[in-house]
Chains A and B, each alone.
Chain A
Amino acid sequence: MEIAQSTLNLIFIGATFAVYIVIAARSRAASTKEYYVAGGGVSPLANGMATAADWMSAATFISMAGAVAISGYDASRFLMGWTGGFVLLTMLMVPFLRKFNKATVPDFIGDRYYSRTARAVAVICAIFICMTYIMGQMRGVGVVFSQLFGISISSGVVSGAVIVFIYAGLGGMKGITYTQVAQYSVMAFSYTIPAVFIAMALTGNVVPQLGLISNYTADGTAVPFLAKLNAINTELGFAEYTSGKLSTINMFCITAALMCGTAGLPHVIVRFFTVKDVKAVRKSACWTLGFIAVIYLTAPTIGAFSRVNLIEKLHQTTYTEAPYWFKEFEQTGQMAWVDKNNDGRIQYFGPGVSEAGTFSVFQGKAPEYPLYDAPQEQRIGVHGQRLLANKADLSNPNELYFGNDIMVMANPYMAGLPPWVIALLMAGCIAAALSTAAGLLLVLSTSISHDLMKKIIKPDLTDREEVNFARLASFAALVVAAYFGVNPPSAFIAKTVAFAFGLAASSFFPTLLMGIFSSRVNRAGGIAGMICGIVFTSSYIVYFQFLGGTKEQLFFGITPEGIGFVGMLINFIVAFAVSNMTKPPPGYITEMVANIRTPSGVRKTPPTDFEI
């Protein structure tokens, strides 16, 4: 019996949702400890899965393979940056912060630097970083919902927000941890299954990672797969797939900023506060990176395979003979064809994104379409294709436009996979967006209720009042996030991602690191370093992203994406210089530092408060 794709999608998503809600309802948080850190007794394996789901956002899930497909070697900065950061996180941060035994990251900064100012700076950074991220997630949920159910994006965003609030706002950390475990499983299956099929089709290998390093066999010949891809690229006018366009210093700085930023992201750090002791933290970090690696090792294979597949299926094909899925994605606006030379064939040529920042197929950043009531000849072309309202960019011969997300979304169609795989993929996308949104929402709400209300504004809050404040705060944060999801400052979101990582790399990472590994850095040094790092990084980013700084003015050719690395070095230098000029921190701080370096005793000691 043939079931329609839309029905299958509904069944898969409905089933996964039912699972999430049941899990969340069974593990509702009752105390602040359960709300913030799930009671501190989650198993390392479960926490590893949950952290992996938390870490991989909808953007990573949908767009990363596309980024690799489009820029080849250059995209390695994301692959290495977002995994290598976990090495820093595990060896330099989380075991010590877990031993410290507090609920949030600003807690540590406030206590270690014995200062309310330091805590306030940390809270503001945490809120900014999470807010930036969550806006993109809400938008992602909205887009997927609107495609699935045929509702407007705004109603998609609102329904996504309601679901997230139900289990994150009410369930707290305990609720989201166990739903994230389920969400990771959905994500991993839906990501790897299409990759296996496409690897078999192109290289005859069942394991995609082996397919990437073996021969291309689909046309009966056997040439090295990457050599085949390089040949296709150079023939069409692109740079070689395996060599990069970015300068070495820029590539180095961006990778370093992403790694250090990852190690300083508050929503990742707090995940490790949920396991029972330092030993469990280390074990859990291994699981986390292992689970993340499953997806990150598959992304470059999907990118490479689907690039070959896409070009072979579409390049020089007449529109009337183009595969059916091309027309479907044309309708949703994810792909577009502009017949510049009027030959009725689709042509795809390099060198990719033009200097003007357009996609070089048409003028402007995104495809725009004539209104529905426009005359038919403005909407539909002579070959039946969907026409764009944008003017064609006639400076180059490229006629095919597609977004980054197409390499994952169209992959099962291109490989001719059964409809249930596509339904699973849809469920995976939603799982990726929901799990990240829930994790971020939790950090946002604890930052507001615990660090801002309890520690700075109103210290006499009771436990129960604090949890209620956290729920209220998560509701408020969600309303703001949903507002920006409905009215996205779209150019702004893409640009602020660099901001979030830059800020984490130049503020949290160095400040936490010095707090743990040096007992000499004091209040004045810590605050001065943090402020110099943040001010330098944010003014550089604002200048080049928003105030029209030119390429020639870049510091050693480092783009805003990578400047957080320089900001981090500035933070270190300033903090050490100022600390050495002022008097050392008081004795109880030195004791505290010695104490967090000793791994035992987390379970026995009740949380101690170094109140200021």
Chain B
Amino acid sequence: MNDQNSKSHWRASLRLTGLLLVCWFILGYVAPILFREWLDANFPAVGTAPFGFWVAQQGSIIGFVVILVIYAICMNRTDKKHGYSEED
């Protein structure tokens, strides 16, 4: 593999990782910790649970799983585009 190809592959994977880490930070810190009280008061309840509390105990965990699934799918696609994927 040439140098140019591996550099653009690395840039693409950094972009994806960065984007997903922002989602992770919002799900794990911004919503359930930093702005929880404001969200509890101003956001619609999830079922009957206050929004911020629900994110802290349920939503964040579901979100983390979704982040990993997106990561796996997108990274495998990026690998394929750059010729790094291996068939089983």
Contacts and interface: CB of A to CB of B under 8 A. Distances in A.
Interface of A: 68, 73, 76, 79-80, 83-84, 86-88, 90-92, 95, 209-210, 212-215, 224-227, 242-243, 248, 251-252, 255-256, 259, 277-279, 282-283, 285-286, 289-290, 293, 296-297, 300, 594, 597-600, 603
B14 to A, nearest CB: 8
A598 B48 contact: no
A502 to B, nearest CB: 19
B64 A212 contact: no
Interface string B55-77: 01110111011011101100110
Chain A interface mostly helix, strand, loop or mixed?
Answer: helix
Most buried by B among A90, A92, A248: A90
Interface in B20-75: 20-21, 24, 27-29, 32-34, 36-37, 40, 45-50, 53-54, 56-58, 60-62, 64-65, 67-69, 71-72, 75
A297 B68 contact: no
B34 A252 contact: yes
Contacts of B79: 278-279, 599-600
Given A277-B86, A598-B84, A80 B68 contact: no
A293 B62 contact: yes
A207 to B, nearest CB: 11
Top 3 closest A-B pairs, CB basis?
A: A213-B47, A224-B48, A76-B56
- Say whether chain B's binding surface is mostly helix, strand, loop, or mixed: helix
Contact of B65 (A79, A256, A282, A290): A290
Most buried by A among B34, B40, B58, B85: B58
26 contacts: A76-B56, A79-B60, A80-B56, A80-B60, A80-B61, A84-B64, A87-B21, A91-B71, A95-B75, A212-B49, A212-B57, A212-B58, A215-B48, A242-B40, A242-B53, A243-B53, A248-B33, A259-B28, A278-B79, A279-B79, A282-B68, A286-B68, A293-B61, A293-B62, A599-B75, A600-B86
A478 B65 CA distance: 35
Given A282-B75, A300-B57, A84 B28 contact: yes
Given A73-B53, A86-B64, A286-B68, A214 B9 contact: no
Contacts of B47: 210, 212-214
- Interface-central residue, A283, A286, A290, by most chain B CB under 10 Å: A286
A117 B6 CA distance: 32
B9 A598 contact: yes
A300 B57 CA distance: 7
A285 B68 contact: yes
A243 B33 CA distance: 11
A22 to B, nearest CB: 29
Given A227-B48, A248-B33, A599 B84 contact: yes
Given A255-B28, A598-B6, A599-B84, A79 B57 contact: yes
A251 B45 CA distance: 23
A283 B74 CA distance: 12
B86 A76 contact: no
A282 B72 contact: yes
Nearest to B48: A224
Contacts of B65: 286, 289-290, 293
Contacts of B50: 226, 242
A296 B54 contact: no
B56 A73 contact: yes
A137 to B, nearest CB: 24
Contacts of B48: 213-215, 224-227
Given A279-B85, A282-B71, A600-B79, A79 B33 contact: no
A209 B28 CA distance: 19
Contacts of A599: 75, 79, 84
Contacts of A91: 17, 20-21, 71
A165 B73 CA distance: 39
Contacts of A84: 24, 27-28, 60, 64
A600 B68 contact: no
Q: Which of B10, B61, B71 is most buried by chain A, counting CB atoms within 10 A of its CB?
A: B61
A17 to B, nearest CB: 31
B58 A297 contact: yes
Contacts of B13: 597
